[in-house]
Structure 1
Amino acid sequence: MTQQNHGNAHKFGMVIDLDKCTGCGSCMVACMSENNVPFKEDESNKKDSITWMRVYKLTNGKSFPDTDVCYLPRPCMHCGGKGDHGHSPCVSVCPATATDYDYGTGIVSQIYTRCFGCRYCMGACPYHARFFNWWDPKWPEGMEEYLSPDVSPRMRGVVEKCSFCFHRYQAAKDKAYLEERDTVAEEEYQTACTQACPSGAITFGDLNNPDHAVHQLVNPDPHHCGRPRNPKAFRLLERLETNPKVYYISEREWVRKAGDNYLDGEWEKAKMKKTKGHE
């Protein structure tokens, strides 16, 4: 699907309620299990470990009893790029076209058989959402029988990342085709992390569909590249204009401020700029 012909396309995205997230890590485990993410016996060295979904801990920087803690899950943002035209930071720099933006789904794909490991995409991604495979995956004896047949394990020397469990979307489309349906229902395509979250903090769906929960939660503005109209919703590093499809919601202002990584004195200026932009 070309860029000029995606007016009625899907735009799959995620909304994460940070006030519900407990930092339990269920989303990380579900992601690794669903997508055959390799692991080492010793995972203490995070420089070469692979975690498509990673949970970070944020604090408000205040001492007890005013200390407040927030946990922030971070998958791939599936950026739409400046102007939301599909020119994601990673897609724009890949010399092998091993990563691509799908205008039909809004998902940034990773084609492992094209990747030759230059890691330009890792340097371009401002969210550190991409990981390099430094070793061939080695599974404990017997565990290979539990691998998902829908996702190919990656070889050494390639970059990998979250795919929004795209294989599940393909399976849902196949089912709809066999049942002679033109559409895939919201509940038919859900990511593993969404289903595994015990607190219901993660919501997934089509941001272009007003009937889907993700659209109702953030109310994205199509005239401003999907910026949320919900004042409690935000996207990470909004100022970079990468236009990610992962939104966060929090009642706490310091959390929303930390999400855009503002320096002292910049928060009020940014709010005034956003207000003028929506006028």
Structure 2
Amino acid sequence: MDFTDVSLTALRVFRAVVEQGTFTAAAASLGYTQSAVSRQIATIERVAGSELLERRRDGVRLTAAGRVVMRRATIVLDEIDATARELSGLPGQAGTVRLGWFPSAGAVLLPGALAALRRSDPGIHVVSREGGTPALVRGLRAGSLDLALLASAPPFRPPDAESPPLLLETLTERALCLAVPDTHPLARADFVEVTDLRGQRWIAGSSSGEDRLMGVWPGLDERPEIVHTARDWLAKLQLVAAGCGLTTVSASLAAAAPPGVRILPVRGGPQEQRRLLLARLAHSPGQPVTRVAAALRAAALDADTPGRPSPSQ
């Protein structure tokens, strides 16, 4: 095989397919046609002499050969990007850390961690993006993310079945809570009984499939009445403040709740625990990644300790 026949464009397309999970999504992200993406992948696989992507109904998955090519392609593309920056006179980014995070982490935890990091390690440059768990895991596997904050619900399965497994660290584990308008009858007590959730109006997620019900209390013995859907957690909380319905939230979002909202625990029925995970590939991280991980741990501890000031204070 002669990989000198593989263009940088083909490598970028390959990384996009791995990160996006499907040929269609990769084509949309790159502004290419799906057939153009397919041709680039076919070129790489022809040169490699083996299949690099397993085509499945739910998207693509790297084969063993694909993981080797992806690891090397990431190194090449990162070096090319660094060279382009240096030639253009832009400052070096040797201390850059690429961080992914699930939506509600951006309300409290992430800003606090980044503010503390600017004081302790001003030379580290963090580039971050929001995403769902599947997209963030693909970003880690593709090498376009160094760290990812993930949310996990029982039975706390690994976020993917790839090998080697991701290195997962539990930062916090707390019970799921309920956001209630402060004018709602349920807001009169310091907790909500799960039996009182029947017949309520809900503000849920806007995704398809099971994620569409994010925001509805799990395990309700009725078909929930979803009156509003919103992707953004702060939008959901504003809708709660306006008296439009109830939604589930992480306990850590209490600090970000707008006026007019009470964040309450729910009693009765099985405990609905949620974990905050810090994920990365299982190899020795560089110093910048280690420092960012430490800042995230400290911010999670502050958010999980009542009465402690946030890292940004």
Asked whether the two chains share a fold, i.e. TM above 0.5, the reply is no
State the TM-score, normalized to the length of structure 1.
Answer: 0.24
Ranked by relative contact order (alpha carbons within 8 Å, sequence separation 6 or more), the top structure is: 1
Rg larger in 1 or in 2? Answer: 2
